[in-house]
Amino acid sequence: MPRVELNVQAPDFTLNDFNGKSVSLDDYAGKKNVLVVFNRGFF
């Protein structure tokens, strides 16, 4: 997995939320702050 770098735009990706709805990082384009959390072990 590539290392995260500061001040570099994140690549777009799409994942499913808890309800199974697809959510894309691009959906939040133009927002000042976006927090993405990956819960490992909650499968």
**What is the predicted pLDDT for the residue at 30?**
85
Q: What single DSSP character describes residue 26?
A: G
pLDDT at 17: 85
- pLDDT digits (tens), the chain, 43 positions: 667 788 888 888 898 888 999 999 899 888 888 877 777 765 5
Model-level pTM? Answer: 0.54
Residues 24, 34 contacting (CB under 8 angstroms): no
So what's the pLDDT on residue 20? 92
SS3 percent helix, strand, coil of the chain, rounded to 5, is 10, 15, 75
CA torsion angle 12 14 18 20 (round to 10): 160
Q: What is the pLDDT of residue 24?
A: 92
